[in-house]
Structure 1
Amino acid sequence: MAQHAACSGISELPAKETCIETSPIYRHKKLTENDSTVLEQIFDPESAPVAGIQIDASLPENRFIHDSAELQRLRSQEVRAIQMIEGLASSSRGGQPRENAIDAATSVMSKLIAAHPTYASAYNNRAQMRRLQHGDHVLVNPPTGTRKSEGLRDIAEAILHDLNTAINLATPPSPTESISKSQALILAQAHTQRGALLHATAKALAHSHLDPSEALATPHLFPGWGAERFEEASSRDFFLGGRYGNGIGRAMAVHTNPYAKLCGSIVQEAIKKEFRDQA
């Protein structure tokens, strides 16, 4: 959630090193600097221009709100809202008390957003609270007879709107522009959250016998999308989440793109062997 507390609906994955160390073959004397860069991006599925993200600790925490006292007040309200849920999660209580706590915390975030519509962190947190309440399969209609789908479309739209808004507010105007630590954290979490929703949707569609236009709660937002398209989009969001610093996003980017990773490893080994043979 916010940078002050972890109230994540995404289960932590085992720690796993996912970065491929830059191989000497990319800097071989026969290759130009441009050739080396191209090869590195092709053979390393995690490599992309966004890898050059520059985090500047001297930048203001928020691009739109520069009053430090006001930011501190907003963060304090966020922390209190998050603690409403965390306190319940650490107890044995559930059911209605849990729903009430999430509703109350979500209401706090909604008030923050109404008063400060450019405060990206509140959108990110509100989306996560709704995910905790409704689950990651919120973009897909439930099987007939399992639970009511009434209002599901509105909930799905609300979560996506919040994540999209958080990302838009925190993303710098230029991809080469430096960002603050706070911005990077919001982007890491929002992209990973959205990736989780899209990934859950991809899995649900892959096991559904229905056409996506019937299975999706929000087909108007994803016209023509099937399981593969959702999987690709989730992999991209996980990738971006990882690049901005989210460990889960980094691990899931590899998990959702195993063939590219395998292909990259095979090709790297083949080129290494070729250069060794020529040496």
Structure 2
Amino acid sequence: MASEHDRAVLQAIFSPNTPFGDVPGLDQEQELTDNDSPFNVDSLRQVKDLETRGVSAAEAGDLEAALQLFGQAIRILPRRASAYNNRAQTLRLQGNTPGALEDLDRAVSLSGGQGRTACQALVQRGLLRRLAGQDDEARQDFQKAAALGNEFARQQAVMLNPYAALCNKMLQQVIGKLRNPDMCESPLEAQSRY
């Protein structure tokens, strides 16, 4: 009997474009946490509050207020990656892609490429790079985020890998033929048998 992990792996192989969240056992990002232990507890509490307010302001459409709140958080704890990641999202919403990429680079660097913030920053940066036509760099970001457990990033990495896409298509054709050999024959192949 196959385990949940085995079923998830098979689902990922046979349906790499499955919608986000539909592959049980693969999306591990929700279990990631950031290492906030080096930071002063009171400062960290204050920064988290500023970030929460910043996210709320951005969601309400007040991008300037959001930028100010994220800026305050960065000034209090400039070595913490999360506020840079959040500010990057706000800058992207304003159309400031270079500023967003700069903050995402900083978030990835400060996080050491580990934890929830790194994963989110890698996905954001991958999307911006993909929009800019930098597919190789985007694929690298998506692969790193996928290694951290992000299912969406895994799907994007597969879509950007022409060899994987070709192999997957061939594998699906082989499985299709095994499941129903008569359906896969062309009319000429069927006539030549008689």
Q: TM-score, normalised by structure 1?
A: 0.47
- Among 95, 109, 120, the alignment partner of 1:168 is 109
Number of aligned pairs? 151
- Among 154, 176, 180, the alignment partner of 1:250 is 154
Partner of 2:21: none
TM-superposed CA distance for 1:73, in Å, is 2.0
TM-superposed CA distance for 1:265, in Å, is 7.1
CA RMSD of superposed structures (Å):
3.1
Give the Cα–Cα distance (whole angstroms) in 1 for the partners of residues 75 and 83 of structure 2: 10
Partner of 1:114: 75
- Percent of aligned positions with the same letter in both sequences? 31
Give the Cα–Cα distance (whole angstroms) in 1 for the partners of residues 141 and 131 of structure 2: 13
Partner of 1:85: 58
Partner of 1:190: 121
Pair 1:19–1:129, CA change in 2 (3 A):
same
Give the Cα–Cα distance (whole angstroms) in 2 for the partners of residues 75 and 166 of structure 1: 15
Give the Cα–Cα distance (whole angstroms) in 1 for the partners of residues 119 and 34 of structure 2: 18
Q: Structure 2 unaligned runs (5+)?
A: 1-9, 15-27, 175-194
Give the Cα–Cα distance (whole angstroms) in 2 for the partners of residues 237 and 70 of structure 1: 31
Pair 1:73–1:114, CA change in 2 (3 A):
closer
Give the Cα–Cα distance (whole angstroms) in 1 for the partners of residues 11 and 139 of structure 2: 14
Q: Larger % of helix: which?
A: 2
3-state SS, counterpart of residue 94 of structure 2: helix
3-state SS, counterpart of residue 132 of structure 2: helix
- Among 45, 49, 53, the alignment partner of 1:76 is 49
Residues 1-279 of structure 1 aligned to structure 2 (within 5 Å): 19-20=12-13, 61-62=35-36, 64-65=38-39, 67-86=40-59, 88=60, 98=61, 101-134=62-95, 155-171=96-112, 183-202=114-133, 230-263=134-167, 266=170
Q: Please tell me whether the aligned partners of residues 123 and 145 of structure 2 are also in contact (alpha carbons under 8 angstroms).
A: yes
Query: More relative contact order in 1 or in 2 (CA 8 Å, sep 6+)?
Result: 1
Q: TM-score, normalised by structure 2?
A: 0.66
- Structure 1: which 4+ aligned runs deviate by more than 4 Å? 264-267
Pair 1:18–1:194, CA change in 2 (3 A):
farther
3-state SS, counterpart of residue 262 of structure 1: helix
Give the Cα–Cα distance (whole angstroms) in 2 for the partners of residues 232 and 71 of structure 1: 36
Cα shift readout 1:58-113 (whole Å, capped 9, x = no counterpart): x9732641x33332221111111111122x2xxxxxxxxx3xx1111011111211
Letter in 2 for 1:262: L
Partner of 2:7: none
Letter in 1 for 2:91: R
